C-alpha cells in the first residue's frame, strides 16, 4: 500500500489486524499508519483527507461562534484547527493561535504537515504562546482585530491552570460575550476523558470532554469531535447533543 490508498482500505486492514492480533482497533489503526510512514492514525488521516472537507467545515462556522473541538491525543485536532485558520486567511480574515501547550516551533511543524507557509499570508497569522493566556489576555489581544477573525485556543482545560485566573465557567462566558459582540469565531481545542473507549463509541461526545472544573458546555454553539480520521460536527442543542 501507499499513502494514496483509500482510507476505507486502510481501515479494513486495521480491522483485520485488530482481530488477528487481538488488539484494540485504535492500536491497529496506529500500526497501519506507521506502516504507511506516518506517526499515527491522526497524522495519516490529515494527509488522506480532502482539503475541500476542511473548506466545507469552515463554511459551517459563523462569526461569533464559540466552537469546542475535542478528541483523544493524536487524532489531529490541532492540525484541523490550523487548517481552519488557513481557510479563514484564504478568505481574507486574520487568524490567531493562542497556546499554553505548543511552542512556535511546534506550530511551524504542524503548518509544514499541512504543506502551508503561514508567511504567505503576511501578518494575518499571529501565534501567542504567553504563559499568561486566559480569557482576559485573549480578549485584550483581540481588541482591535476585524470581525471574521478566527481564533484558536489550545487548549480549553489550561485556561484556569493559574490560581489567579477566574474559574473556567467565568472565562468561557466572557469569551462567549466577546465573540458575539465582536463577531469573532473561537475554536477551543479540548481534551477527552480517558474513560472514552473508541471501541465502544464511534465518536466522543460532550459527556466525554475532560472537565477538571465545572463548565456548562452548552455555552458553546457548535462541537467538533474527531476519531479515526473522521469528523462529527454539528450545533449543540438544548439537550447538550449535536
- Residue 242 inside a domain? The answer is no
Same domain, 155 and 103: yes
Same domain, 59 and 127: yes
Same domain, 119 and 200: yes
pLDDT in tens, 45-84: 766 555 558 999 999 999 999 999 999 998 989 999 999 9
Q: For residue 1, what pLDDT is reported?
A: 37
Same domain, 199 and 83: yes
- Residue 2 inside a domain? The answer is no
- 95 CB contacts (<8 Å, ≥6 apart)? 85, 86, 88, 89, 121, 124, 125, 126, 149, 150, 151, 152
- Residue 164 inside a domain? The answer is yes
- Residue 109 inside a domain? The answer is yes
With 0.85 as the threshold, say if the pTM is over it. no
Same domain, 34 and 58: no
- Residue 35 inside a domain? The answer is yes
CB contact burial 158-173 (16+ within 10 A = b; e otherwise): bbbeeeebbebeebbb
Closest to 65 in 3D by CA, of 240, 230, 224, 232 = 224
pLDDT in tens, 94-130: 999 999 999 999 999 999 988 899 999 999 999 999 9
Same domain, 35 and 100: no
Same domain, 19 and 79: no
Q: What SS3 state is found at 78?
A: helix
Same domain, 61 and 28: no
Same domain, 26 and 103: no
- 61 CB contacts (<8 Å, ≥6 apart)? 67, 84, 150, 185, 187, 222
The mean pLDDT of the chain is: 91
- Report the number of distinct structural domains present in the chain: 2
Same domain, 150 and 30: no
Same domain, 173 and 114: yes
The backbone torsions φ and ψ at residue 210, rounded to the nearest 5 degrees and listed phi first, read -75, 125
DSSP of 86-120: HHHHHTT--EEEEESS--HHHHHHHHHHTT--GGG
Same domain, 66 and 102: yes
Structural domain range at position 26:
7-48
Give the C-alpha separation, 179 to 201, whole Å.
Answer: 32
- Residue 90 inside a domain? The answer is yes
Amino acid at each position: 500500500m501507499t499513502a494514496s490508498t483509500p482510507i476505507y482500505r486502510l481501515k479494513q486492514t486495521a480491522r483485520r489486524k485488530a482481530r488477528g492480533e487481538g488488539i484494540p482497533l485504535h492500536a491497529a489503526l496506529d500500526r497501519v499508519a506507521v506502516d504507511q510512514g506516518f506517526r499515527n492514525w491522526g497524522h495519516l488521516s490529515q494527509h488522506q483527507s480532502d482539503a475541500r472537507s476542511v473548506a466545507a467545515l469552515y463554511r459551517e462556522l459563523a462569526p461569533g461562534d464559540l466552537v469546542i473541538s475535542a478528541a483523544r491525543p493524536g487524532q489531529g485536532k490541532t492540525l484541523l484547527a490550523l487548517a481552519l485558520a488557513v481557510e479563514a486567511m484564504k478568505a481574507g480574515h486574520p487568524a490567531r493561535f493562542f497556546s499554553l501547550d505548543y511552542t512556535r516551533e511546534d506550530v511551524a511543524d504542524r503548518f509544514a504537515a499541512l504543506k502551508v507557509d503561514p508567511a504567505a499570508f503576511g501578518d494575518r497569522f499571529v501565534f501567542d504562546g504567553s504563559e499568561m493566556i486566559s480569557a482576559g489576555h485573549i480578549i485584550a489581544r483581540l481588541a482591535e482585530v476585524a470581525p471574521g477573525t478566527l481564533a484558536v485556543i489550545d487548549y480549553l482545560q489550561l485556561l484556569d491552570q493559574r490560581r489567579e485566573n477566574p474559574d473556567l465557567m467565568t472565562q468561557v462566558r466572557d469569551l462567549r460575550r466577546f465573540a458575539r459582540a465582536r463577531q469573532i469565531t473561537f475554536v477551543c481545542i479540548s481534551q477527552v476523558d480517558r474513560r472514552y473507549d473508541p471501541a465502544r463509541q464511534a465518536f466522543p461526545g460532550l459527556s466525554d470532554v475532560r472537565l477538571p472544573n465545572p463548565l456548562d458546555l452548552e455555552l458553546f454553539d457548535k462541537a467538533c469531535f474527531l476519531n479515526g480520521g473522521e469528523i462529527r460536527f454539528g450545533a449543540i442543542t438544548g439537550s447538550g447533543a449535536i
